Amino acid sequence: MKEAAVLPMLLKQLRLPTMSRLWKEMNTEAVEQGWTPTRYLKALCEHELSDRDNRKLARYMAESQLPRGKTLETFDFRAIPSLNKSRITAFASGDVWIKSGKNLLIFGPSGVGKTHLAAAIGEKLVEAGYRVLFSRTTEVVQKLQVAKRECNLVSALEKLNKYDCLILDDMGYVQKDQTETSVLFELISERYENKSLLITCNQTFDEWDKIFMDKAMTIAAVDRLVHHATILELNVESYRKRAALKATKLQKEEVEQNQRASSLTSAAGNADPASDVLEEEANQAHV
Ligand code: ADP
Ligand code: MG
């Protein structure tokens, strides 16, 4: 049939890969079930749209560079009692803050779960259909410095605007002594009241003059970041350290248990019937 030969080409030209893949078998089903042409076309369109969403999600997830396995499902909220789970879940849906280009700043010492939480929120944002990029702050700074040297800073900053949320992990590791950090200030200014930043940092604002070139730039950067921001402070003991201590304690308990078990076994092996009698007597005396 001529139509049947032409249709795959037309669907390909129209960039409808799912319809191209399914039209034939669904046509058979439609004939068998007595579907109207409208129902058949609607079913094909629905498959195309659903596959398109899945492909988009997979693309956004791949481009996000989020670390694997750091999800809200694996985040133990009991470790940080001050953190409200439903508030974090609301953040992860993104609607209010991402749509209005607000920021989220997560502070706390090393090992408390800042990166895990940021990545987990990022993953949920991608699932909600937002575009996210996760990066160490030092890497972004290096790339922007290269762009600046090549007189491409404006277009490099504009390229980052396609991301609804830019996660800058470990802002505190950027040091002005090693690098020229005005590009970081340019990035913050570019996104101000425009696109969201999610920043993790182990240094409080009063130490940020180690990051930026001078005091005025530090004040201006902090000002822009906090103007429309939520700040989460994770001031607990390092999760890593607690996990290591727990593991050491468990190991110690296991060793002690093994030692007890082996001393009991050897005592049983050397058992002297007389000592049993003595023990029995002692027990009776105690009763
Ligand atoms: P930070 O970025 O604050 O230095 P990380 O997010 O890298 O800390 O956390 C250190 C390790 O501990 C990671 O493997 C992380 O997955 C884990 N971790 C930290 N906090 C939690 C938590 N509340 N629940 C589950 N895992 C956690
Ligand atoms: Mg971290």
Q: Which residue's C-alpha comes closest to atom 25 of ligand 1?
A: 75
Question: Ligand 2 center to residue 114 CA distance, Å?
Answer: 5
pLDDT per residue of the chain (287 residues) written in tens, 0 to 9: 688 889 999 999 999 999 999 999 999 999 999 999 999 999 999 999 999 999 999 999 999 999 999 999 999 999 999 899 999 999 999 888 999 999 999 999 999 999 999 999 999 999 999 999 999 999 999 999 999 999 999 999 999 999 999 999 999 999 887 677 899 999 999 999 999 999 999 998 989 988 998 899 999 999 999 999 999 999 888 887 777 777 777 777 777 788 877 777 766 655 444 333 333 333 333 32
Measured from the Cα of 117, ligand 1's closest atom is 6
Distances (CA, A) of 33 to 24, 27, 30, 48: 14, 10, 5, 21
Give the pTM. Answer: 0.81
Q: Rounded distance, CA 278 to CA 276, Å?
A: 5
Q: Is 107 in the pocket of ligand 1 (CB under 6 A)?
A: no
Distances (CA, A) of 123 to 129, 169, 199: 10, 14, 15
Structure tokens at 257: 């248990």
Question: Ligand 1 center to residue 189 CA distance, Å?
Answer: 30
Question: Ligand 1 center to residue 168 CA distance, Å?
Answer: 16
Q: Is 239 in the pocket of ligand 1 (CB under 6 A)?
A: yes
Judged by its nearest atom, the ligand closest to the C-alpha of residue 240 is: 1
Contact (CB, 8 A) for 203 and 172: yes
Measured from the Cα of 202, ligand 1's closest atom is 3
Q: Rounded distance, CA 191 to CA 36, Å?
A: 51
